[in-house]
Structure 1
């Protein structure tokens, strides 16, 4: 356990993850947090006569960040994100720098300078969108991403001297952006709720399912999982060795520090309530930074490297662990000796055979993992570890005694089209009555498009009418290699080809049975599918595998265009409803104020009859306002869902091509959606140009 340097009480309920710290006067650190009353609390310990000040926010606060964004100014600014706006505030001057309506909402904020930017910018993530503003409120970046943004981070990940943008979202993806172009993606097992940078291209991440880990560029170094959820990530050199540890604040009130290289816990403490935030700053003006922990009930604790107490029993614990390992290894050796002496061991040439196939004969079409041995030995039990496939990531198969044999089949249902490692541990024994088992461990890989089966190429009338086509100068053999690496290819493959200039395949989704046909003939590649998402995935996969830097495709997706138009009309209706509802609430509020004044006047005049009438009116108007508020909330949720659908269509349409003009294309999409220009939208989807 640790000993805090100091502790204090803010006497306010603090919202989880909405804690930051800033030098608003350029010199002194001020703790800043969002309270449950939709206020921003600023604690300034250097001003004991008035150490707490407040900033009232009219909307629900969803994000908070403090940092330097004004060129040649050492003072931090405060950025407040809400469900529908962003406020950039100069705390020192007590004035707004700018305020903007953000229809997509603000879920994450950071301040940093990307590759093409001269000065730091305010970068926000919302409903499938990413925006950047300068300190005056001028928009300098807008792009879309796959789902609701939960966390954003600016850092030099590839060590090329310029910063990239890392974005974690609800679709389990961590995406690396060079300006507005996605250059890398990592698929995780849950929504990414926090990101934090370390030096030399390393960053930490946290997921909604309680997972915490560290990546070195895009190679995972380590990860751990807890039953609690993560509320905050921060870095701090707690043990004074010159290297930052990963500090994690948990929903159960626990705070721990882990070695960023190994994940080993070197420090832990527990607060009485959930952790709201962890920030780093010289809070006590001691000449060095402290780690400041804030709980949801307003408790604040400070730590530094003097808080870390090395217990005298550490060496004893190490010896105890080594003795325990020796005991386990001795027991394992005795088991092998016993099995050998009694003849109960498995043959020395026993092998575990694995086969991955696509099955449509099961109750639900799936990827079928078949395990078997090469002799009469039996498979007593199997554990399969796979990220994102099983609820707890591990699946245990233990057949009944009468069903035990040398073959075992396991159904896999990957929820997304990503490359997956399947870690298998099988318990193999010589017979049912033998209680000694040999453990086989191996790893197999599921290809990206494992949930698609290769089927016989259909007749012309059954081929989907929507398509994308582009010129491709490539050998058919390379397309065969791409197919084998990205799909589960049966022994009798239904690929039509002459081995030189002609190549056709048809794939069927195991999720919804939709058909996608891919043809290559006379240097022309065509992808026929009603699903624009899988079409875009295939094009991007081909571009990566074949190292294509430019794909200028033409496309025809009438159903997608109709869906986009319908969503634009829905968005327009919802926005009009929002204006009407807000006007109605404003009118009711004004009437309510007048009635309250009138009722008080009647009370003073002892006119109980008229006062009662006023109070009755107040009651009915208040009831109506509550109903209007509920309708407003539902309208807002529908608007967010509609905007998400529109942004998703825009993203998929932009992924039908590969080029360096994505920024301009997405900006044109945005303008066309705002002006409801279907002619331009049709041309953009068809050719990528207006």
Structure 2
């Protein structure tokens, strides 16, 4: 179990996700982080007594003179046998040798640096500083050469290196603001996972496992492309780290939260093993042999500059017994709360039964208890339909629910991650408007698969207690597309075409799986020609396939075409695919953007020349004024 080792106060603000540790002289670990005034603090420990609870040290500041967006430490030049500090700003990348107090390189990077990691990527022979910016990823070597460059779907928010496919080489796991986690083997995309919010942190664990944290408070673990578990908190996860907390040789997942809490969860099941709290939001968590060489410590740093370190320690029998007693007391407390809730529910049911028996005795006949009972054969029928925009009501998916008898639906609660604010929607119609059926509109913000968990409160019209039916309905990735009749009217001009070694029934199976259809689509034609209406913008999507395996996707939305190809490739297990595409509307929009950029550049040059001209005039006036002052001719 972890025990506290030392604490210290940096007396500097620390920016979130900009904390790192490095051995800048090759021997002693130092703590670094971004602080106010566009500076980087460097804390060098100066600890004479290894048992001291307060760690002393020297703090020095490095001026960057630009807003720091990310930083990392690592052996970018392995011949130096020491770590370098790499600092990213909105326009530049700087590699700094703190031991010699010199810049190794300075590189302009217009895409910015939202995240940096240092290590080996793929089969490239040298260490790289991998920088994630605005829709781009760059790999810089020790000579500041951009040896690897690729693009991603949106602004990069987090990076991590791990052997994703167990081939002996590191792949790059990238989290971005478009809610996607992508895995790159050098410049090749080999896996993609969709989440429900911006990925704020990623850390590698043992083998092919990695942890992730989202901006909505979700934390979880993936093993390759499969999610092992996830939990949701009302607080926001700031940073993740891996640390062996129980001495079994397997790293657990450490999470630092916005409320100052630090918890450590099992990598297998997600249960909490250890927790601690700091006085303010966590800014960073690192691990290093900070005080004793070879003894790894878990170091937690808060926004206010509070630092606490912990280490694994074999506990004696008394400590183990004390922790076991504490865990058992917490378990007993949880069970007691559950017992109270069940007893309260039992009391309500007994009261309802008593009232029912009294009414039965008064009426001398057996009737259904209007307080709680409903017919035993009551069932809930659910249908999902795509609805177009009508009048002022936007396009949506209608979740239609209906009971199988005269019972009514009083309340509907729908849980769906990333779909509603707060991830829950409650529909509670007025008492005069309740019926045996109800329709709930939902509007997915983007094309992504969603699991709907529905709770339906059912009873009689005079009921005060209701039975709860729980259902689960999946929404396919392309649920906002309505199947319509084929026609040559308003056909999209953009298209992407490719060849696959698959039969048409397999593509039909993909369509039935990934589109929301009222009934199974199974045409008898020799070739495939299907048309959908994108109800968000009333544009057409046409999918064609010939018997020779040629597939054509017609749409004016390049992003939709990419999603279609990715979805089809994943369903059909296609790893490599050569495509040809043309999107004239997108190119026209791009041309308009370039024209606007040229206009802005001309305006900027004109303003710059005017500023230079006015500066010369002011300079001449200053010289003449100084001459007049000296001559007394004011």
Q: Is the 8 A contact 2:205 2:252 kept in 1?
A: no
Partner SS for 1:34: strand
Which residue of 378, 385, 410 maps to 2:415?
385
- 1:457 to 1:264, Cα distance in 2 relative to 1, 3 A: same
Which residue of 306, 309, 313 maps to 1:299?
306
- 1:194 to 1:549, Cα distance in 2 relative to 1, 3 A: closer
Q: Which residue of 1 is the match for residue 430 of structure 2?
A: 400
Partner SS for 1:215: strand
Q: Which residue of 2 is the match for residue 133 of structure 1?
A: 140
* C-alpha distance after superposition, 1:20-48 (max 9, x if no partner): 10011111110001111111111111499
Instruction: Return 5+ residue gaps in structure 1 as ranges.
Output: 614-690
Q: Which residue of 2 is the match for residue 665 of structure 1?
A: none
* C-alpha distance after superposition, 1:508-566 (max 9, x if no partner): 11211111222234534322222111122222222332334454343332222222233
Q: Is the 8 A contact 2:47 2:291 kept in 1?
A: no
Question: Matched residues in 1 for 2:563 and 2:504: separation?
Answer: 20
Which residue of 570, 573, 589 maps to 1:563?
589
Q: Which residue of 1 is the match for residue 208 of structure 2?
A: 201
Q: Aligned-pair distance for 1:161?
A: 2.6
What are the equivalent positions in structure 2 for 1:107-506 lying under 5 Å apart?
Answer: 107-240=114-247, 242-285=249-292, 287-305=294-312, 312-329=325-342, 342=356, 343-344=368-369, 345-360=373-388, 363-429=393-459, 431-458=460-487, 460-472=488-500, 474-491=502-519, 497-500=523-526, 502-506=527-531
The answer to which of 574-583 and 533-542 deviates more is: 574-583
Q: TM-score, normalised by structure 1?
A: 0.79
- 1:519 to 1:287, Cα distance in 2 relative to 1, 3 A: closer
- 1:492 to 1:167, Cα distance in 2 relative to 1, 3 A: closer
Question: Matched residues in 1 for 2:613 and 2:230: separation?
Answer: 54
Q: Aligned-pair distance for 1:84?
A: 0.4
Q: Aligned-pair distance for 1:503?
A: 2.0
Question: Matched residues in 2 for 1:338 and 1:249: separation?
Answer: 47
Q: Aligned-pair distance for 1:575?
A: 6.4
Higher relative contact order (CA 8 A, sep 6+): 1
- 1:577 to 1:289, Cα distance in 2 relative to 1, 3 A: farther
* C-alpha distance after superposition, 1:61-93 (max 9, x if no partner): 100100122235531111100000111122222
- 1:598 to 1:13, Cα distance in 2 relative to 1, 3 A: farther
- 1:71 to 1:552, Cα distance in 2 relative to 1, 3 A: same
Partner SS for 2:169: coil
Instruction: Return 5+ residue gaps in structure 2 as ranges.
Output: 49-55, 357-367
- 1:318 to 1:88, Cα distance in 2 relative to 1, 3 A: same
Question: Matched residues in 2 for 1:93 and 1:574: separation?
Answer: 43
Partner SS for 1:52: strand
Partner SS for 2:280: coil
* C-alpha distance after superposition, 1:591-628 (max 9, x if no partner): 999999999x99xxx99x99xx9xxxxxxxxxxxxxxx
RMSD: 3.6
Q: Is the 8 A contact 1:206 1:233 kept in 2?
A: yes
1:552 aligns with 2:552: no
Q: Is the 8 A contact 2:202 2:213 kept in 1?
A: yes
Q: How many residues align?
A: 601
Q: TM-score, normalised by structure 2?
A: 0.85
Larger helix share, 1 or 2? 1
Q: Which residue of 2 is the match for residue 653 of structure 1?
A: none
Q: Is the 8 A contact 2:493 2:584 kept in 1?
A: no
Q: Is the 8 A contact 1:2 1:269 kept in 2?
A: no
Q: Aligned-pair distance for 1:140?
A: 1.8
